[in-house]
Every structure is written in C-alpha cells, then in structure tokens.
Structure 1
C-alpha cells in the first residue's frame, strides 16, 4: 500500500505577499489506529490475548509518560527513542535565567533504523479525493 498525498500551494517564507508560490506534497492520512486496533493487529503475531496486549500498551504509555516527565530518554530498540525537549525564552545573562523562562516541554521522537528503512522504501499515490 502507498502513502497517499495531496498538494498544497505555499508562498516563499519571509516574502511579503508570499512571493512565488509553488505546489508541495502533503500526506493525506488514510485513517488512524486506536489502541484496540493495534492490539488486534499485534495479536496476530503473538501468543498473547488482545486484552493482555492492550494492557501492555496502556502500561507502556504510563511508563513513558512518567519517565519523560523525569527527563529520561526512552530507547525502544528498533522502534526508536523518545526524549524530552524544551522551548524557552532567552535571558540576557546566565544568572538571570530561571524556570519561568521555559515556555513548554515537548516530546521528540527519533525513529529506529527499521522504521527509517521502511519509509525509504515507501511508494506514493495521489489521494483520490483531489
């Protein structure tokens, strides 16, 4: 199956009025999967029941949340790594900076080699609804 895309027109960044506009590909999502959907699919490759798999996925979500909130990197072998990031305002001096300068915390994800390789081998198809 191919990754579906649609086209969007974008202007040049930083140019008043958008400058010369060009067309770019944008992923057209082809549905989504819930935890239940994932559990059903994983069950086909496992000796565990759907309910057991669902429990493990939910527990994994809780463990990832807790550890990201404690500043830890979560390395999940071939799946990749999750790690916390911060966005902050700048301070004039190092001594002036305090935690109130931090605007938000967010999650970074770095895919593992197998996921990267899978996307390198992806094919593409223009979405039918365009």
Structure 2
C-alpha cells in the first residue's frame, strides 16, 4: 500500500523572511495502528497468547521509560535506538550554567537499518 501525501503551500525553509511560497509534499496520515492491532498481528507469528504479548509490550514500555530517565540509550537491534536529548539556554561562561538553563528533555528515535531501508522501497500516492 502506498504512503499517501498531500501538498502544503509553505515558505521556503531556511530563507530569511520566508522567501517565496512553494508547494511541498507532507504525509497525509492514513490512520493509526494501536497496541491491540499490533498484538493481533504479532499473535499470528508467535506461539504466545494475546495476554503474554500485551504484557511484554507494556513491560518494554516501562523499562524504556526507566532507562531513558537514567540517561541510557536503548538499542533494540533491528528496531533501532531510543535516546534522550536536552534543550537548554546558552551562557557565556561554563561556570554560569545551572540546571535552570535546561529547558526540557525529549526522546529521539533512530530506526534500525531494516526499518530505514523499508522506506526506500515505498511508493507514494496523492491523497484524494
């Protein structure tokens, strides 16, 4: 199934003042896949029960949360990696930096090679 896209009329990225408006492609979401959907699909390829699969997914979520809060990188082999990053205000001298300069943390995801490569074979279709 192709990835659906829509056209967005936006100013040029990186151009001071916005530059000329141009048309750019953007993903047009084609729905969601929930944990329930994933569990049903995984159940087809596994000898595990629905409850076991759901339990493993929930446990994985809990472990990932705990490890990210501790500043760890979580490498899930072919799935990819999750890692924390920070946003902060800059200061002139390193001695002036305090925790108050940190404005937030977020989670980044870097897909594994197989997941990245899967998009190289994707086809595209304009959403009606």
The TM-score range, normalised by the shorter chain, is over 0.9
Partner of 1:99: 99
Please name the residue that 1:72 is paired with: 72
**What is the TM-score normalised by the length of structure 2?**
0.95
- Structure 1 CA distance, aligned partners of 2:20 and 2:8? 14
The aligned length equals: 127
Cα shift at 1:53? 0.5
Q: Deviations over 1:12-46 (max 9, x none)?
A: 34443x43111000001111011111111111111
* The 10-residue stretch of structure 1 (68-77 or 33-42) with the greater mean CA deviation from structure 2: 33-42
Q: Distance in 2 between matches of 1:35 and 1:12?
A: 37
For structure 2, the 5+ residue unaligned runs are none
Instruction: Give secondary structure in 2 for the equivalent of 1:54.
Output: helix
- In angstroms, what is the RMSD of aligned CA positions? 1.0
| C-alpha distance in 2 between matches for 1:73 and 1:12 | 34
